[in-house]
Amino acid sequence: MLYAATPCLVFSGQAKQAITYYESVFEMTRRRILLDEAGDTVYHAHLSNGAFELMLWDESDAPNDTSSLHLLLTCASYEEVEQLYQRLAADGQIITPLAVADFGGWYAQVRDPFGILFALSFSEEGRESETLLERE
């Protein structure tokens, strides 16, 4: 694959609010945004902070609660995971408080105001997949 998988979030008329929210929480910048003529509907938005990218848009028939999406963000430091946790928790719902997990490292889950669940992790040993690859 040429690129890492990019999360695509589909909203039912809330994409503009989500853009503002994600820009603030994740310190993202707008790479591209296409709106309808009235400026109400987002046809396409691409946000990035260098390490993390999101694409999002509005669809009139977007499902409200028929599916679930969890995004795992692996942080580079404890300070980063704590900062993201605090930003998401300010307007979101804490599902799993930030703490050392049974499987090692810091871990938390927070559902944002749009219903997206962000799993946040930090471990000084790196990602689990990297650790397993080193052992093989």
Domains of the chain (ranges; CATH) run 1-61 (3.30.720.100), 68-136 (3.10.180.10)
pLDDT digits (tens, 9 = 90+) for 113-128: 998 999 999 988 765 5
Mean pLDDT of 38-57: 92
Could you tell me which residues are beta bridge partners of residue 57? 10
- pLDDT at position 96, please? 94
Given a contact cutoff of 8 angstroms between Cβ atoms, the answer to whether 29 and 48 are in contact is yes
Q: How many Cα atoms are found within 13 Å in the side-chain-facing hemisphere of 107?
A: 14
- pLDDT at position 68, please? 62
